Structure 1
Amino acid sequence: MRSSILAIAAILALPACTTMSDTPPESASAQPAASGVTPSIDTMKRLVQELSSDAYEGRAPGSAGEEKTLALLSSEFARLGLKPGNNGSWFQDVPLVEITARNVSPLRFTGGASPVTAAYGPEMVIGTYRTTQPHIAVKDSPVVFVGYGINAPEKGWNDYAGVDVKGKTVIILVNDPDYETSGLDGTFNGRAMTYYGRWTYKYEEAARQGAAAAIIVHDTVPAAYGWNVVQSSWTGAQHVADSANGNADQSAAIGWIQKDKAQALFASAGLDLDAQMRAAKQPGFKPVPLAGVKANVSFDNDLRKHSSKNVVALLPGKTRPDEYVLYSAHWDHLGRCQAALDGDDICNGAVDNATGTAALVALAEANVKAGPTDRSQVFLAVTAEESGLLGSAYYGENPVFPFSKTVGGVNMDALSVAGRAKNVVVIGKGKSQLDAYLDRALAAQGRVATVEPTPEKGYYYRSDHFSFAKHGLPMLYFEGGEDLVNGGTAAGMAAAEDYTKNRYHGPKDEYDPNWDWSGVAADLKLYYDVGRALAETTDWPNWVEGDEFRAIRDKDRAGQ
């Protein structure tokens, strides 16, 4: 599915057709009123505490923690009276391969003025997408700096122009060339990250170019997280989508390197990394071979094929049961990871994303209590989000309920426990007509929707809604606002920074009985009101005219 992104991008570039109306969805006054039911915070607390307990071992796909998670979710949905959503089953199999690297050598660069060595873990991480190779060895591979590693013909940009990197090791910068601009105008949307800025794309393009190895230079600001996140996410068991060819068309080795080590590497080749980074931001950048420098790394792989599972629960509609509203959240986390100073090596994933998973159950419970809606409602808990949106991507390619008959939906990932906020931050605000539904729900709470304060972090491409959007399905994804009722923006930003620095993708993302649940309660009610309105209306909200996903949706809905 990684290799399909260019085909999707080609579709996205097509002119938007007009088979669907550009008229906005029903006005707020015409939309069905939300029911008076409020999703239960007690249900949220109970399930978040359970899912993030050490007994679930961090909910890694293919682990005992997955088995416990699946059993809990299917039991909860059955208790509420929902139906198994996948042809009588609660589950959709997602073929994966678990890859655990062993005997990892240092990443060594020779041939420069002096050798440069990066140690596995604190200075570099390495892995592979190849699912049939128990041993990977990159030996004496010439090194080429390819800037941001982007090949975007529609933008007149090709960082691989004029160089053949087959069998070579490419060094790549994270994010887009114009991420430092203040506005949203630019070749790559200015400050807002495009998919070309995501690390997943960079490995995909390096593989298409034939690179033996692809190494991204970690830089905290454009990456949007520190090295601790990279290290915890990329060490230990990794999960990769299975394929018929064992992903043999992918680069043998993919990974990250600390920026100071990259600086030493460039200096050994007589280059200045900072100067090369500035050059890479300019149109017409040409790749730069590191003259004489060769890369070497090797590691063994323990390979295990298995089927992880998405959980699919259905609340049938009463008058139009063949039309669907989708709620999604990922149930997985990292399992055991880089240990904290106290020896704790379980990444419990309480906020990320036991909160979203629990929200699925709380929303299902509230909708059962309120009574069935005209349209059916689907509650989808997907696997392997932390491995690159693999579970949602599989559902996107193999939807249980056709996207042409799915109205739209909401995605929930890491609800805020910092307290009630005056706003919510909409990821991708202005992209679809779903914004009108959210605005109505917000107005009832006296709150507002705001745009992302950090669009350079590329959140639109980092959660499961993207897997559905790229197939044309309008999805709403928002985060808890940063303008807190108690403490304002300063308090909200401090809470977000503290979580990112000290808990995100680490062992300390644990359940805390002292959390302030008022913000979760308010945001959960928004998800409920938006979903309920979508499930009662006769409208089919679309992407706005000119949006990248509009043509796909119009084509999918044509003739319905």
Structure 2
Amino acid sequence: MRSSIAAIAAILALSTPAISTAAPAKSAAANSAEPSIETMKRLVKELSSDAFEGRAPGTAGEEKTLALLAAEFGKLGLKPGNKGSWFQDVPLVEITAKNVSALSFSGGKTPVTAAYGPEMVIGTRTTEKHIDLKNSPIVFVGYGINAPEKGWNDYAGLDVKGKTVVILVNDPDYETQGLTGPFNGRAMTYYGRWTYKYEEAARQGAAAAIIVHDTVPAAYGWNVVQSSWTGAQHVADSADGNAGQSSAIGWVTKDKAAALFASAGLDLDAQMAAAKQKGFKAVPLTGVTANVSFDNELRKHSSKNVVALLPGKTRPDEYVLYSAHWDHLGHCQAAPDGDDICNGAVDNATGTAALVALAEANVKAGPTDRSQVFLAVTGEESGLLGSDYYGKNPVFPFARTVGGVNMDALSVAGLARNVVVIGKGKSQLDAYLDRALAAQGRVATTEPTPEKGYYYRSDHFSFAKHGLPMLYFEGGEDLVKGGTTAGMAAAEDYTKNRYHGPKDEYDPNWDWTGVLADLKLYYGVGRELATTSDWPNWVEGDEFRTIRDKDRAGK
């Protein structure tokens, strides 16, 4: 999930008509029904209660979540979507690091030690029961990018086998104000995501990969890293135990990284500036080595995606997809009051409840020509694991899936004059949203902080990689009550005090007007997709267009 703090200037530039909360026009949506806020309240409150223990995969919280969703979809008359089952197995390995040593760096001017939790986090994607990184030479590889199509390779001429690579988060040009540059300027590419950094380090054979945390380019503070990367972690299972992965992966605070570089006679800020330039050459921290050890408690299990089907009446073999992730972090870093359950009320009990509320509204309105699929996926917080598995093993072929919407963390700050579209301009689905917005007198705006890479941080990305057009938007921050000042304050409060923490809890005082308006948008877009005979695509030149065209041509 992502949390957003929109740039005020981007919102102030809007010219917004009067807002209407009426249902979308019936020209494309045919019959119409209003999603129920009472259903939303009931389900968000239950899903985020302490009884669900933060909905971590492979726990009693998962079992309760699956049972609840199957019961809710069943009561509505939906069909189990996966060959008579509500569930799709997603093979995972739960890895819990135990007896974690400090991460120590020796051989420099001064020994440097980073403590597990407040100064560094460490783990592995392999299924080795013990990791012991000893005297591993350290190399600073800048942004850790190997992009032949851009003529950029931070690993050029390097052999990092057995070595520890230190990597910067985001892209080299993230500070650019415009959207032009070797990596799209201010807009993050996938090369900027931490998932890519570790993937590329593993391809290069690095024994360990450590990312330097920096709040602005990471888009969140160290508290988020600490709560998300300690405790049980989940990875996709594989026959070889993920043997191709680096032995250790993690993060280190910028202050500790600066101390490490100083110990090697280098200035971190100067090296960070150099890494932004094309032609940057990796810098060995000569004589300095990394050491860390930890045990791994392993448990293989099958987590589950929930797949519910509302069959179409005339073209049931064509599908519209609604997605949201049901999982959260489970037990996590405790708050000062001792509360250690990350309840995930906003993230993403709201999106999960929205799947049920939208299914309910569509049942009331009557069947559409095309079938509608309501997919609640697991493992989003661990790196989009459930949606990635569905993408590689779709229950309903992507060539026969028209497109869809993804819902992640609905805004409970109140009604806004705008919505922020993540990836605006990438697909023809924008036109569907614009029609639904017009009925409400609201507008769609582009991401004011594209450097944060939100397009790659929720489940729609897993489907887009396989060519499926997916729409993902968030509640705007130009609130009807209080404007951008109130909207910014609400977003900052959530990011600082609740996001990926124990205080993301249900609040009876939430303002649900924005949730209702946004639900109507999802309903309008989905309903139109399910009634039209059109096949919306990515725009010409988009990175996913070729995949989609090939898939549709071979249907």
1:282 alignment partner, one of 277, 280, 284: 277
1:411 aligns with 2:426: no
Aligned to 1:545: 540
Say which SS state the counterpart of residue 519 (structure 1) adopts. helix
Alpha-carbon distance, 1:33 to partner: 3.6
CA contact 1:31–1:537 (8 Å) conserved in 2: no
TM-superposition CA deviations, 1:74-100 (whole Å, max 9, x none):
000000000000000000000000000
2:51 alignment partner, one of 43, 55, 68: 55
Say which SS state the counterpart of residue 445 (structure 1) adopts. coil
CA contact 1:409–1:475 (8 Å) conserved in 2: yes
Please list, as runs of the form range in 1=range in 2, the aligned pairs for 1:31-50 lying within 5 A after superposition: 32-50=28-46
Aligned to 1:517: 512
Aligned to 1:359: 354
How far apart, in 1, do the equivalents of 2:544 and 2:30 lie?
28
Amino acid aligned to 1:121: G
1:112 alignment partner, one of 100, 108, 112: 108
If the length of structure 2 is used for normalisation, what is the TM-score?
Answer: 0.95
How far apart, in 2, do the equivalents of 1:510 and 1:354 lie?
10
Aligned to 1:18: none
Alpha-carbon distance, 1:36 to partner: 3.2
Say which SS state the counterpart of residue 376 (structure 2) adopts. strand
Alpha-carbon distance, 1:268 to partner: 0.3
TM-superposition CA deviations, 1:48-75 (whole Å, max 9, x none):
0000000000000000000000000000
Aligned to 1:83: 79
How far apart, in 2, do the equivalents of 1:412 and 1:477 lie?
7
Aligned to 1:494: 489
Alpha-carbon distance, 1:29 to partner: 9.4
Say which SS state the counterpart of residue 184 (structure 2) adopts. coil
Please list, as runs of the form range in 1=range in 2, the aligned pairs for 1:196-211 lying within 5 A after superposition: 196-211=191-206
If the length of structure 1 is used for normalisation, what is the TM-score?
Answer: 0.94
Please list, as runs of the form range in 1=range in 2, the aligned pairs for 1:364-383 lying within 5 A after superposition: 364-383=359-378
Please list, as runs of the form range in 1=range in 2, the aligned pairs for 1:216-365 lying within 5 A after superposition: 216-365=211-360
Amino acid aligned to 2:181: G
Amino acid aligned to 2:531: E
How far apart, in 1, do the equivalents of 2:453 and 2:487 lie?
20
How far apart, in 2, do the equivalents of 1:92 and 1:283 lie?
45
1:97 aligns with 2:112: no
Identical amino acids, percent of aligned pairs: 87
CA contact 2:332–2:341 (8 Å) conserved in 1: yes
CA contact 1:112–1:269 (8 Å) conserved in 2: yes
1:432 alignment partner, one of 418, 423, 427: 427
TM-superposition CA deviations, 1:32-58 (whole Å, max 9, x none):
245331100000000000000000000
Aligned to 2:209: 214
Please list, as runs of the form range in 1=range in 2, the aligned pairs for 1:60-79 lying within 5 A after superposition: 60-79=56-75
Amino acid aligned to 1:103: N
Amino acid aligned to 1:43: T
- In structure 2, the CA distance between the partners of 1:30 and 1:45, relative to structure 1 (3 Å rule), is closer
How far apart, in 1, do the equivalents of 2:485 and 2:393 lie?
43
TM-superposition CA deviations, 1:299-335 (whole Å, max 9, x none):
0000000000000000000000000000000000000
- In structure 2, the CA distance between the partners of 1:247 and 1:47, relative to structure 1 (3 Å rule), is same
Amino acid aligned to 1:341: P
1:143 alignment partner, one of 138, 147, 154: 138
How far apart, in 1, do the equivalents of 2:133 and 2:487 lie?
45
Say which SS state the counterpart of residue 225 (structure 1) adopts. coil
Say which SS state the counterpart of residue 382 (structure 2) adopts. coil
Say which SS state the counterpart of residue 144 (structure 1) adopts. strand
Gaps of 5+ in 2: 1-23
Deviation larger for 226-235 or 160-169: 160-169
Shift >6 Å, 4+ stretches: none
How far apart, in 1, do the equivalents of 2:325 and 2:27 lie?
29
How far apart, in 1, do the equivalents of 2:518 and 2:31 lie?
16
CA contact 1:227–1:258 (8 Å) conserved in 2: yes
How far apart, in 2, do the equivalents of 1:418 and 1:35 lie?
30
How far apart, in 1, do the equivalents of 2:268 and 2:29 lie?
58
Amino acid aligned to 1:199: W
Amino acid aligned to 2:203: R
Aligned CA-pair RMSD: 1.0
How far apart, in 1, do the equivalents of 2:455 and 2:485 lie?
24
Say which SS state the counterpart of residue 206 (structure 1) adopts. helix
Gaps of 5+ in 1: 1-27
CA contact 1:337–1:506 (8 Å) conserved in 2: yes
CA contact 1:321–1:375 (8 Å) conserved in 2: yes
CA contact 1:316–1:372 (8 Å) conserved in 2: yes
How far apart, in 1, do the equivalents of 2:222 and 2:392 lie?
32
Amino acid aligned to 1:205: E
How far apart, in 2, do the equivalents of 1:241 and 1:36 lie?
40
1:123 aligns with 2:119: yes
TM-superposition CA deviations, 1:142-172 (whole Å, max 9, x none):
0000000000000000001122111000000
